[in-house]
A and B are shown apart, each in its own frame.
Chain A
Amino acid sequence: MTVLDDGFEALLEPFYNGKKLTDPISTKEDKYQLLPAFLKVKGLVKQHIDSYNYFINQEIKDIVKANRLIKSDQEESFWLEFTDIRVGKPTRNDYSDVVSRSEVNPMECRLRDMTYAADVVVDIVYIRDRHKIRHNNVLLCRIPVMLKSAKCCLSGASNSEMEVMNECPLDPGGYFIIGGTEKVILIQEQLSKNRVIVEADEKMGVHASVTSSTHERKSKTYVILKKERITLAHNILMEPIPIVIVFKALGGLTDCEIMELVAGGDARYQDDFLINFDEATKAGVYTQQQALEYVGQRVKMGGPRGRQFGSAPRRSHAEEGLDALANIIIAHVTIQGLEFYPKAIYIAMMVRRVLMASHNPKLVDDRDFVGNKRLELAGQLLSLLFEDLFKGFVSNLKMNMENFFKKPNRTSAYDPVGPIKGQGAFITQGLNRAIQSGNWTVKRFNMNRAGVTHVLSRLSYIAALGMMTRISSQFEKTRKVSGPRALQMSQWGMLCTSDTPEGEACGLVKNLALMTHITTDVGDEAVKEWIHGVDSGAEAIENFSGTEMHTAGAYIVHLNGTPFALTHSPKRFAARFRTLRRRGWLSPFASIHINSHFSAIHIATDEGRICRPYIIVQNGRSKLKPEHLRLLQLGKASFDDFLTHGIVEYLDVNEENDTLVALYEHDIVPATTHLEIEPFTILGAVAGLIPFPHHNQSPRNTYQCAMGKQAIGAIAYNQFNRIDTLLYTLVYPQRPMVITKTIQLVHYDKLPAGQNATVVVMSYSGYDIEDALVLNKASLDRGFGRCQVFRKYTAELQSYPNGRRDRMGGVAKDEDGLVIDKHAILDEDGMAMVGERVFSGNTMLKKETPVDKGTTGIGTDRGPDDFSDASLNYKIADAAYIDKVMISTNERDHPVIKVQTRQTRRPELGDKFSSRHGQKGVVGIIVDQEDMPFADSGLVPDIIMNPHGFPSRMTVGKLFECLTGKASIVHGRPEHGFGDAFRSHPVEEMGKVLVEHGFSWEGKDYFTSGITGEPLECYIYNGPIYYQRLKHMVQDKMHSRARGPRAILTRQPTEGRSRDGGLRLGEMERDCLIAYGASQLLLERLMYSSDVTQIDICQKCGLFGYKGYCQTCKSTREVTQMNMPYAAKLLVQELVSMNVGVRLELEDTFPHEK
């Protein structure tokens, strides 16, 4: 395949704002050019891809390495070892095919409802006949491949290669294709693991908690201060244990040493802690043995350890206690031998934090602080799942092996290759099912999360992009606490301040900002080595006693939350650490910060931290020089080069607290440590579409973030090749007149969703109240807001176990031999003909399914040979055209047929439009062009907007957009059309441009009424405003019913438009009628127009009769008829069926006079 450079590639390059290579460069103006360079290597969806790549290349190997050996309990000499695991390229999984295992591209998977997955192969070594057998490339399972990840065929593909693969070059990637549907694993927000969090609440008092997470287990340990006594609590312990007993059980510490470890030399803490020694004395615990017994007695039996077939001999209480302390409580601090000192230091640290918080309530941690949070990405979630599945696979394989060795007479040597393939299928299924359903179940961790994955929303390009940056929180939505929902100061620059949904998920679902990166695990070995080896000032924490740790000026170095070393020169230590990182000796994502409250230095290398890049400032001068930007412009340097040369660096949320960041170059003071790359990056990709967002009232930006995702536009360059279930496209999408740099960076200008409408702000006709818009009919004729709606209808021709299959039937004909109306558009193959108009009720696919599906088909067990109709009909009231009919086969080798229908819609009354400032409105009236007002230049508006939309909404950004847009069209050049956030005020310059071209500087013009021909009494503000057509259209919502279908059980009208349902007269409406006294109307609405039924009732016994006869009384004498709601009749009968007698007593409405 030869690939031509059609010059298209250059269009997708990061822009340099029309700068020529010879133009002068100023760091002040042009430093934002780091942003496109950054987005080339990191950011937006790259975190998904990085995380997945890390899983595929690293974590999967670690998981297999940790579970590499399988030994048989019966056959001593046999073992099996997994030596390596590799993920291949995505392939087809068709059977019965020569070219089957060839590489596949994502578009084929979408069209054929397949899973975009790659083979995972393992290398194994095992023993057969006392020989080591090596077997490479044994197929283990198939793993879904993330689009644009390292294994995907789209990674590194040029645009022309993308085109050949029918793929859109602007597609963000980062999602999976499972069974033909695109699935995203949303970013999950969690409290950080292995970190101590100190909190105070009414119920528990002051407490420190830590969630220990290791590969084996996840558990939470608490240190609680209650009634001045400190205890340690854990799930495995039946009751909280006095803290001194825990310290004694850990062994090797005298009372004095315990005191020193916790309180150091501080008398206040010593006094507070002293009482805890009494607790141990009261319990009669003096020695380690006694303490271990005390703990062991309180360890819950039947815990994760106690379940091993009952074969292990019962352990003594002391052993039980020792095991709990070593392996379960604070499990992430590993114990080597029986050296418990590190764990004692850790627990002492927790106790000390609790004591400090009790003295000074300000020292509690904030769990909403972004630095205390970790984001879980697709790779991490997949690795959790894969680890669980792989462990299950290993135990299944072992079981299979033991079953084989159990046989007394074996005919052959054990060959594990077959069983590996067989058991590996469960891994494939498990992965697919989890991504498909979004239910993440990991038994080891008791993890059971639903809704982890979502179908990628393809309503618009922005909707898809917005989904990739979405973060969902684990907090329950019902809790009425504002803390987790509120905007946190530390979200600055990391999470978008505007993009969050309204309503119940408000503040819980967040979005990443433009320059955010999420770290992957970088390993702590290098850091450990460096702390020990390079800096002489830091020594291992185990070498120190409590007093030394807590002397003034001594700083404990914590590595990922665990005390690791001690230094007396924290500033120098941190400075050296940063220097090393800037020189590239350490990973750029290792972070360090000093916490002077706790005399601690925290180094973090773990995954899921949120960070973002900054320009380094040293000695009051920015490290970024014009020559660097020149290199960038020439394409001779990338962002990573700047990173390794110490010009920029990543800071995570914790490290940000140690910095002084200047927003602009002129803000730099001697103490400044960093310089912001570009202020508008505090917003995300979706909020970045708004021009002048800093001039809007903040909720308006939030509204636009929600509406931008509903705007109809182009979704991708390949939008007509992919057959989506529902696709809306705008017929003539336009690039906004006023754009932002974010728009260019996310390529919204190449896949826009809206049109530049000429708007005049005035009142017209009274059909514009409550935000309704007046539309120009001629504009609609010219194609304004015209959109197309594509719908997909699918049929799969299944085959059944008895060998029968679904088939495509032929056209039915009436007695005259003419094709019946229903089948008018069917072809000979039973499928609709492409290009035909399809009306409601027409058949599109004449599928037929065998009547006999259940029989075995062997012998006499055989059903009829008939077929029943299972055709697919077009049900929507408005006609459409058949756009495309695709036939193919899916992974199960069944034929699949997809029909795509197309509707073209022009805006009509009630269709929804919105500008980019949270100003939505419906079409109130469509006016002939001759009745519209016109300017003296002949300009006639597309839209008339009511000025009442402005005062209360305060969307000044919209006024600016109008003015800026007008200036840039009258000038005929796009460079004015930038509405970036936090940039200078454009009004004066725009006014100047307008005046130069003979317009008023205010943007107001003279208009003449189109109805009377008189001049309007005032000048009218007008100009182009970008309008989005939203997906809510009258045609999809319009509904009425006189009579129609009823529900079977209650005989009441059905509910909902799709079932042609009735309109409910609900409780509140009922209350109104009761209050008004319209009883006959009520009776009609609630009974006669709904589920009235006539029943026979026996006046004697009060039970239902039938056909004028009472079964109970065996007579017809007192049976009478009455009307009642069928639901009431049903209730009576249901009660009777439960053995509750119900008897109706009747009386005359108008009694006879006796």
Chain B
Amino acid sequence: MSSEQYQVPTGSGSQAPGGSRNFDAEPPTAMHYLCGDCATRVRLEKGQPIRCGSCGARVLYKERTKRMVQFEAR
């Protein structure tokens, strides 16, 4: 990646800006998505490329909520 080039060391900045840095202190959270092509559950961690592990499709959908949803019967 172009941002991972040599960076001039500075006195104060211990942390280098750019994509290589981990923004989150907390451990990466994983979410599950559904593949648009093969409908398998895809586990994605934050920052991971968006892609189905089994078929390589790049369109993923979010799973339906686990919470209760009540519809107004109108």
* Chains A and B bind each other: yes
Are the C-beta atoms of B18 and A803 separated by less than 8 Å? yes
Interface segment among A9-17, A559-567, A882-890: the answer is A882-890
Shortest A1113–chain B CB gap in Å is 55
- Name the one of B10, B23, B56, B67 contacting A833, with C-beta atoms under 8 angstroms: B67
CB closest chain-A residue, reference B57: A108
Which A residues between 421 and 449 are near B, CB-CB below 8 angstroms? none
Are the C-beta atoms of A837 and B69 separated by less than 8 Å? yes
Residues in A neighbouring B19, C-beta threshold 8 A: 799, 803-805
Q: Which of A833, A836, A884 has the most CB of B within 10 A?
A: A833
Residues in B neighbouring A895, C-beta threshold 8 A: 50
Interface residue? A857 (CB, 8 A): yes
- Name the one of B13, B17, B60 contacting A803, with C-beta atoms under 8 angstroms: B17
Main secondary structure of the interface of B (DSSP, over half): loop
Interface segment among A228-236, A858-866, A1132-1140: the answer is A858-866
Residues in B neighbouring A860, C-beta threshold 8 A: 10, 12-13
Interface residue? A869 (CB, 8 A): no
A887 to B51, CA, bound (A): 9
Q: Mark B2-18, 1 if CB is under 8 A from A, else 0.
A: 01000110101101011
CB closest chain-B residue, reference A863: B17
Residues in B neighbouring A1049, C-beta threshold 8 A: none
Are the C-beta atoms of B63 and A834 separated by less than 8 Å? yes
* Interface residue range, chain B: 20 to 34
A799 to B12, CA, bound (A): 25
CB closest chain-B residue, reference A781: B74
Residues in A neighbouring B10, C-beta threshold 8 A: 859-860
Are the C-beta atoms of B62 and A827 separated by less than 8 Å? yes
Shortest A622–chain B CB gap in Å is 53
Are the C-beta atoms of B13 and A834 separated by less than 8 Å? no
Known A-B contacts A836-B67, A836-B69; A887 and B17 likewise in contact (beta carbons under 8 Å): no
Shortest A30–chain B CB gap in Å is 46
A860 to B12, CA, bound (A): 9
Are the C-beta atoms of A886 and B59 separated by less than 8 Å? yes
A387 to B7, CA, bound (A): 46
A1043 to B7, CA, bound (A): 54
Residues in A neighbouring B67, C-beta threshold 8 A: 833, 836
Shortest B25–chain A CB gap in Å is 12
Are the C-beta atoms of B56 and A99 separated by less than 8 Å? yes
Are the C-beta atoms of A857 and B17 separated by less than 8 Å? yes
- Name the one of B7, B18, B31, B36 contacting A827, with C-beta atoms under 8 angstroms: B31
Which A residues between 879 and 918 are near B, CB-CB below 8 angstroms? 881, 884-889, 895, 906
- Name the one of A829, A837, A858 contacting B29, with C-beta atoms under 8 angstroms: A829
Interface residue? A828 (CB, 8 A): yes
Which A residues between 833 and 856 are near B, CB-CB below 8 angstroms? 833-837, 852, 855
Known A-B contacts A799-B19, A803-B3, A858-B8; A889 and B64 likewise in contact (beta carbons under 8 Å): no
Interface residue? A111 (CB, 8 A): yes
A834 to B31, CA, bound (A): 14
A804 to B16, CA, bound (A): 11
Interface residue? A831 (CB, 8 A): yes
- Name the one of B13, B56, B60, B69 contacting A886, with C-beta atoms under 8 angstroms: B60
Interface residue? A582 (CB, 8 A): no
Interface residue? A31 (CB, 8 A): no
CB closest chain-B residue, reference A98: B56
- Name the one of B20, B49, B62 contacting A889, with C-beta atoms under 8 angstroms: B49
Interface residue? A798 (CB, 8 A): no
Residues in B neighbouring A827, C-beta threshold 8 A: 31, 62, 65
Known A-B contacts A857-B18, A858-B8; A831 and B59 likewise in contact (beta carbons under 8 Å): no
Shortest B50–chain A CB gap in Å is 5
Q: Mark A795-811, 1 if CB is under 8 A from B, else 0.
A: 00001001111010000
CB closest chain-B residue, reference A906: B74
Q: Mark A285-299, 1 if CB is under 8 A from B, else 0.
A: 000000000000000
A860 to B29, CA, bound (A): 32
Shortest A659–chain B CB gap in Å is 55
Known A-B contacts A827-B31, A833-B67, A862-B13; A112 and B56 likewise in contact (beta carbons under 8 Å): no
A837 to B68, CA, bound (A): 11
Residues in B neighbouring A108, C-beta threshold 8 A: 58-59
Residues in A neighbouring B13, C-beta threshold 8 A: 860, 862
Are the C-beta atoms of B50 and A835 separated by less than 8 Å? no
Are the C-beta atoms of B61 and A884 separated by less than 8 Å? yes
CB closest chain-A residue, reference B6: A858
Residues in A neighbouring B36, C-beta threshold 8 A: 111, 886
- Name the one of A852, A855, A859, A885 contacting B61, with C-beta atoms under 8 angstroms: A885
Q: Mark B26-58, 1 if CB is under 8 A from A, else 0.
A: 000101010010000000001001100000101
Q: Mark A1034-1061, 1 if CB is under 8 A from B, else 0.
A: 0000000000000000000000000000
Which A residues between 88 and 103 are near B, CB-CB below 8 angstroms? 94, 99
Are the C-beta atoms of A802 and B18 separated by less than 8 Å? yes
Are the C-beta atoms of A112 and B17 separated by less than 8 Å? no
Are the C-beta atoms of B29 and A834 separated by less than 8 Å? no
A862 to B18, CA, bound (A): 10
A215 to B1, CA, bound (A): 46
Are the C-beta atoms of B3 and A834 separated by less than 8 Å? no
Residues in B neighbouring A833, C-beta threshold 8 A: 62, 64-65, 67
Which residues of B come within 8 Å of A, CB atoms? 3, 7-8, 10, 12-13, 15, 17-20, 23, 29, 31, 33, 36, 46, 49-50, 56, 58-65, 67, 69, 74
A804-B19, A829-B29, A859-B8 known; 8 other A-B pairs, CB under 8 Å?
Answer: A99-B56, A111-B59, A827-B65, A852-B17, A884-B62, A885-B62, A886-B60, A888-B58
Which residues of A come within 8 Å of B, CB atoms? 94, 99, 108, 111-112, 799, 802-805, 807, 827-829, 831, 833-837, 852, 855, 857-860, 862, 865, 881, 884-889, 895, 906
16 contacts between A and B (CB under 8 A): A108-B58, A833-B67, A834-B65, A835-B64, A835-B65, A836-B67, A852-B17, A857-B3, A857-B7, A860-B13, A865-B17, A881-B69, A886-B36, A886-B59, A886-B62, A889-B50
For the complex of A and B, the 10 pairs showing the least CB-CB separation, nearest first, are A803-B18, A803-B3, A833-B65, A885-B62, A857-B17, A835-B65, A888-B59, A859-B8, A834-B64, A829-B31
